[in-house]
Amino acid sequence: MVSAGAPAIAVDRLVVDRDGRRILDEVGFAVAPGEIMGLLGPNGAGKTTTLGVLATLLRPSGGAVRVAGHDAATDAKAVRAAIGRVPQDIALYPRLTGRENARFFARLRGVGAAAARRAAEDALASVDLLGRADDRVATYSGGMQRRLNLACGLLGSPPVLLLDEPTVGVDPQSLERIVATIRAQAANGAALLYSTHHMDEAEQLCDRVVLIDRGRVIATGTPRELVASAGVGLRVDVATQRPLRAEWLADLAGVRVLETGGPERAGRRVATVAIDSLELAPRVLERASAERANVLEFRVQRASLHDAFLALTGHASRD
């Protein structure tokens, strides 16, 4: 059990090297019981590696990791008993039913058959899957599989939950259910490390976030703190039919291009710009029009965690 006041997860100067390449470079953060910590970063930033070390699946090259008070390097079994892991990819047996999957993983947590049945029922109920519990997982929709994937990580109410992008590709209904379930776990005192590259999702769900990029921690704090620290006030999205030149805002003060425009999607490209004040918005629109790129949409909104990430790293979180 986690002693009072001690973090449920404590990562200190964590280093992971693989094949001569540094995957994690002195990563450090802590998660308190009942806290939802977002682990944010683009694909390849090191989020899954961090979760792998916490789940004792990967051996760290340096640093210290303690989970529920146990050293992950020396007391892996105790760490495993303390964590509930929801992997990024669906990790279920497709030929077993939802109930069979849940009971199987419950039994492997070391509980008896009756307790495993109860835990499975509770978990299935928490993700609203009791109605399909006896269907094979292969017949589930992607969202149902995500929910079951989450449920199998919650079995036995472990004090630490490691969630690796548990909402990838889910429908809004499933997302809502998953978020509710996660909040309920935190409310029950579990420490949650929630890895995602969906900034808005993290902004809504997480108490704090750790921004990680290329194996390094860029920033840690609440979403509001991070947005503020990034110095991004307003954000302008300009959708054009044709691409804008890279230097289309080169000599305009108080304006920074966060994204120059990604690949064409549905006949349009979106460039994201941070502006220091609302007065700069018309100037940006003028420049876009002058580029003869055929502006399709022009939107001004408050800066988000995503914008802060762009400002801090210089690239989008989904790169």
Count of chain residues binding other proteins (CB under 8 A): 27
User: Does 57 contact other proteins by CB under 8 A?
Assistant: yes
User: Does 87 contact other proteins by CB under 8 A?
Assistant: yes
Nearest Cα residue to 35 out of 209, 204, 200, 201: 209
Q: Applying CB under 8 A, which of residues 64, 91, 130, 168 lies at the interface with other proteins?
A: 91
Q: Which is nearer to other proteins, 79 or 258 (CB)?
A: 79
Q: Applying CB under 8 A, which of residues 39, 72, 152, 238 lies at the interface with other proteins?
A: 152
Interface stretch with other proteins, choices 79-87, 214-222, 249-257, 259-267 (CB under 8 A): 79-87
CB of 52 to other proteins, least distance (A): 8
CB of 59 to other proteins, least distance (A): 7
Which residues, numbered 163-182, are part of the site for other proteins (CB under 8 A)?
Answer: none
User: Does 90 contact other proteins by CB under 8 A?
Assistant: yes
Q: Contact 149/96 with Cβ under 8 angstroms?
A: no
Which residues, numbered 27-56, are part of the site for other proteins (CB under 8 A)?
Answer: 55-56
Q: Contact 196/202 with Cβ under 8 angstroms?
A: yes
Q: Contact 212/218 with Cβ under 8 angstroms?
A: yes
**CA distances (Å), origin 301, targets 232, 234, 235, 277:** 11, 6, 5, 11
d(CA 29, CA 191): 13
| CB crowding 43-72: b at 16 or more within 10 Å, else e | eebbbbbbbbbbbbebebeebebbbbbbeb
> CB 30: neighbour CB atoms within 10 A?
18
Q: Which is nearer to other proteins, 152 or 311 (CB)?
A: 152
User: Which residues neighbour 107 within 8 Å (Cβ) at sequence distance 6 or greater?
Assistant: 113, 116
| 261: alpha, beta or left? (left if phi > 0; alpha if psi -120 to 50) | left
Binding mask 109-138 for other proteins (x = CB under 8 A): xx-------------------------x--
Interface stretch with other proteins, choices 90-98, 197-205, 252-260, 276-284 (CB under 8 A): 90-98
Which residues, numbered 265-294, are part of the site for other proteins (CB under 8 A)?
Answer: none
User: Does 93 contact other proteins by CB under 8 A?
Assistant: yes
Residues that bind other proteins (CB under 8 A): 55-57, 59, 77, 80-81, 83, 85, 87, 89-96, 100, 104-105, 107-110, 136, 152
